[in-house]
Amino acid sequence: MRIDVRPILRLPWPTLLLGFVAAGVGIACLFVAFGGTQAAELLATPAKPPAALKIELTTDAAADLAAIQSQPLLHASRAFYVAPSPDAVPASPPKPDYRLAGTFLVPGKPSVALLVSNQNGANRRIKAGETLDGWTVQAVLRKQVTFTWQSESFDLTSAPPPVNMGMKRVPMTRARVASSGGAAGVQSLGAAGASAPAGTGGPTSDQPRLYQPPPN
């Protein structure tokens, strides 16, 4: 059987080139399909070692490194930590800046105190055992809260309400004038120095005017 290749050779050369490429790819696919990818040989290949890093330190660089190690980093004003001596007495924290607004005493339940901050007016409820600004609430009484810190303690009491409740108290005085004639039921109106009203026809007098209530 003879195969006539002359019609194939008459095709344009781009078509022939694409045909050869397709044929080559097909043969490669068949080779890989039957021969495999040789995964075992690829995994057995040793990895290449990484390239060694070369760092050259001069004498000046070593001196700068020693200076950095001997001083604190990041800021010139920093200092290394120095442990306090065991005999040093720690200072107590500032006392809580609150005022006692009231307490809630309920039988069978922990007493609760209501505090108001003197800085921003915020409310805070506390009870015995809680901590406020580093101080521990020791006890909550009717008008007193006891705070402790180690061996120190102080009491926060509620201030009594002001008597005038914001009102100004002005003293009042009344002048008493004895009635003349000793008549019963006669009361004195006006003060010394008052004169009789005009138009009454009577003489002007500096004596207090008298008023006698009408009979019942």
β-pair partners for 146: 139, 155
Task: For 180-201, write each residue's pLDDT tens digit.
Answer: 555 455 554 544 444 445 445 5
In angstroms, rounded to a whole number, what is the distance separating the alpha carbons of residues 163 and 178? 36
CATH numbers and ranges of domains, the chain: 98-157 (2.30.30)
Reduced to 3 states (helix: H, G, I; strand: E, B; else coil), residue 125 is strand
Residue corresponding to tokens 């309920």:
106
Please tell me the distance from the alpha carbon of residue 13 to that of residue 162, in angstroms, as a whole number. 114
Does the pTM of the predicted model rise above 0.75?
no
Contact (CB, 8 A) for 186 and 178 = no
Q: Which residues of the chain fall below pLDDT 50?
A: 183, 188, 190-196, 198-199
Instruction: Supply the pLDDT for residue 147.
Output: 92
